[in-house]
Amino acid sequence: MTWTCLNTEERLSEYLEGQLAPAERQELEAHLQACAACQALTAEVGGVVARLGRLEAEVEPSWLVYRILEATSGAVRQKKESPWPRLLPGLLSPRFALGLASVAATLFILFQALGVNPRHITANDLNPVNLYRAADRQAHLTYASGVRFVNDLRVVYEIRSRLQEASATPSVPQQEQERSRPAGTDSPQSERKLRNDLLLRHLSHSAVAVFAVLPAGGPR
Amino acid sequence: MELDSQLVVRCVRGEAPAWEELVRRHTRRVYNLAYRFTGNRQEAEDLSQEVFLRIYRTLPTYRAVHGEFTTWLTSVTRNLLIDHYRRTRRDRLTDSLDAENSPAERKAAPGRRPDETAAATELSGQVQRALQQVSPELREAVILRDLQGLDYREIQQVLQVPEGTVKSRINRGRIELARLLTQMGVGPA
């Protein structure tokens, strides 16, 4: 097969990149020696490839990156990085808001329990010794008022039951009546008494529980 | 330095700094491909933005197993360029006149010595003018090979044509370009 100019043209890039098989390379080079036109073409194409390789990258405008960032993620960082732009999205997230709310609630409960008034907070308030004393005092006050309340309830209950006893059956004691009462012989009054009794007990239990958490009244 | 694929993972997780790094890394590459293909700086700027917008929106679809991030980026860029070309079809002659070239407009690239700037600018302009006269098919092949430095396999992925076609287009594009430059009086290097 005779190597033609067309062959040279078709295989030129491969030749320049050293990808031709030895046999083909020989044929091409032999042709080049005999053909001025192909010689010139080879030189030109070789030159272009070299030129393109040396061409430096075009520099994009300095604002292009920022324009792209703005159009995409919408987050544009200033060159002098200030922490605020990065913090702001975080501040506005629901997670942060909830966290803030729970911290505030905790602080509120703490202040109440420790007897610290958040409006008139002083450095003295935050002294650990004072905090302990305040907590201690608060605990005792709470306990005391709880005990007082239960006692009050019990007094009320006792008075009531005595009154009911007096108006119902005078001689039979309360407990005997409850124990020996058969199913079918419930009198309306004893039933009411039982109900009230249970109600009062229930109330007193929940009242103590509630008052243990709330701030106690009385002298500070 | 973090790999592109790692940055992509972080981007998908919502880390804005990772996206910013990705944009900074690849803006010049995208801009150059767009500019060399269109011959117009403003179009290149607009198209670059479109490219990154599309990448940003389809980022979760990128899988490192399918290939390099740069190959994907180049594919997206090339497809947008072809779409743009078809929408704004121009006469080949007016293209060569439209191409921006005046040294006054062009600022010196950083890192170039002053005496080199003028000559380099001139050459860059001449190459650009010649490129505009090459048909889009051949033009993109030469740009991808000789300006973007992609290997044959990558170009095949970007152009979605057989390797034989890739080689053929590169070859014909180079010959075309060489002939044009010779006509313009730009001798071999």
Same structural domain, B80 and B102: no
What is the arithmetic mean of pLDDT over A68-78? 75
> Confidence band (pLDDT; 50, 70, 90) for A78?
very low
For the ranges A123-127, A128-132, B25-29, the one whose mean pLDDT is highest:
B25-29
Residue B54: the pLDDT is 96
Point out the domain boundary residue: B89, B107, B124: B89
Cα of B5 to nearest chain A Cα, Å = 18
Scanning every residue of chain B, which has its alpha carbon at the shortest distance from the alpha carbon of A55? B124
Decide if A50 touches B, using CB distance below 8 A: yes
Q: Which residue has the higher pLDDT, B144 or A95?
A: B144
Decide if B178 touches A, using CB distance below 8 A: yes
Point out the domain boundary residue: A54, A74, A94: A54
Point out the domain boundary residue: B40, B60, B89: B89
Residue B108: the pLDDT is 42
Residue in the block written with tokens 């197993």: B65
> Confidence band (pLDDT; 50, 70, 90) for A128?
confident
Q: DSSP code of B134?
A: S
In a domain, A141, yes or no: yes
Count of structural domains within chain B = 2
Same structural domain, B108 and B36: no
Scanning every residue of chain A, which has its alpha carbon at the shortest distance from the alpha carbon of B58? A72
pTM, rounded to two decimals? 0.60
Residue A75 has pLDDT above 60, yes or no: no
The whole domain housing B116 covers 93-189
Residue from A11, A17, A19, A44 whose CB has the most chain B CBs within 10 Å, to mutate: A44
Same structural domain, B107 and B133: yes
Decide if B122 touches A, using CB distance below 8 A: no
Q: Which residues of chain B have pLDDT under 50?
A: 92-93, 96-112
**Of A48, A55, A64, which is closest to B48 when you measure between CB atoms?**
A64
Question: A44–B179: do the CB atoms touch at under 8 Å?
Answer: yes
Cα distance between residue B25 and residue A3, in whole Å? 47
Question: B188–A59: do the CB atoms touch at under 8 Å?
Answer: no
Decide if A203 touches B, using CB distance below 8 A: no
Residue A30: the pLDDT is 95
Q: Which two tokens stand for residue B48?
A: 């670059």
Decide if A178 touches B, using CB distance below 8 A: no
In a domain, A89, yes or no: no
Same structural domain, B43 and B66: yes
Q: Which two tokens stand for residue B64?
A: 């490192």
Scanning every residue of chain B, which has its alpha carbon at the shortest distance from the alpha carbon of A57? B32
Residue A6: the pLDDT is 95
Same structural domain, A127 and A209: yes
Q: Is the ipTM of this complex over 0.90?
A: no
What is the arithmetic mean of pLDDT over A188-194? 70
In a domain, A163, yes or no: yes
Same structural domain, B106 and B123: yes
In a domain, A71, yes or no: no
Residue B188: the pLDDT is 64
Residue A85: the pLDDT is 52
Decide if A81 touches B, using CB distance below 8 A: no
> Confidence band (pLDDT; 50, 70, 90) for A208?
low
Same structural domain, B98 and B75: no
In a domain, A49, yes or no: yes
Decide if B119 touches A, using CB distance below 8 A: no
Nearest to B141 by CA among B162, B121, B117: B162
Which CATH number fits the domain that encloses residue B7? 1.10.1740.10
Q: In the 3-class helix/strand/coil scheme, how is chain A assigned residue by residue?
A: CCCCHHHHHHHHHHHHCCCCCHHHHHHHHHHHHHCHHHHHHHHHHHHHHHHHHHCCCCCCCCCHHHHHHHHCCCCCCCCCCCHHHHHHHHHCCHHHHHHHHHHHHHHHHHHHHHCCCHHHCCHHHHCHHHHHHHHHHHHHHHHHHHHHHHHHHHHHHHHHHHHHHHHCCCCCCHHHHHHHCCHHHCCHHHHHHHHHHHHHHHHHHHHHHHHHHCCCCCCC
Question: A68–B48: do the CB atoms touch at under 8 Å?
Answer: yes
The whole domain housing A43 covers 5-54
> What is the pLDDT of chain A when averaged over all its residues?
78
In a domain, A104, yes or no: no
Same structural domain, B125 and B156: yes
Cα distance between residue A204 and residue A152, in whole Å? 10
Nearest to A72 by CA among B126, B27, B80: B27
Same structural domain, B55 and B117: no
Residue A46 has pLDDT above 90, yes or no: yes
What is the arithmetic mean of pLDDT over A47-57? 93
Point out the domain boundary residue: B44, B60, B89: B89
**Of A44, A47, A64, which is closest to B27 when you measure between CB atoms?**
A64
Backbone angles phi, psi at A110, to 5 degrees: -60, -50
What is the arithmetic mean of pLDDT over A126-153? 82
Residue from A58, A63, A93 whose CB has the most chain B CBs within 10 Å, to mutate: A58
Residue A173 has pLDDT above 70, yes or no: no
C-alpha distances in angstroms, B43 versus B40, B108, B125? 5, 20, 17
Cα of A36 to nearest chain B Cα, Å = 15
Same structural domain, B69 and B31: yes
What is the arithmetic mean of pLDDT over A116-142? 76
Same structural domain, B59 and B123: no
- The alpha helices in B39-91, defined as continuous H runs, are 41-58, 69-87
DSSP secondary structure, chain B, as one string:
---HHHHHHHHHTT-HHHHHHHHHHHHHHHHHHHHHHH--HHHHHHHHHHHHHHHHHHGGG--GGG--HHHHHHHHHHHHHHHHHHHT---HHHHHHHS---TTTSPPPTT--HHHHHHHHHHHHHHHHHHHTS-HHHHHHHIIIIIS---HHHHHHHHTS-HHHHHHHHHHHHHHHHHHHHHTT----
In a domain, A169, yes or no: yes
Q: Which residues of A touch B80 (CB under 8 A)?
A: none
Same structural domain, B100 and B142: yes
In a domain, A43, yes or no: yes
Count of structural domains within chain A = 2
Question: A47–B36: do the CB atoms touch at under 8 Å?
Answer: no
Residue A200 has pLDDT above 50, yes or no: yes
Same structural domain, B54 and B97: no
Sign of CA dihedral A127, A129, A133, A138: positive
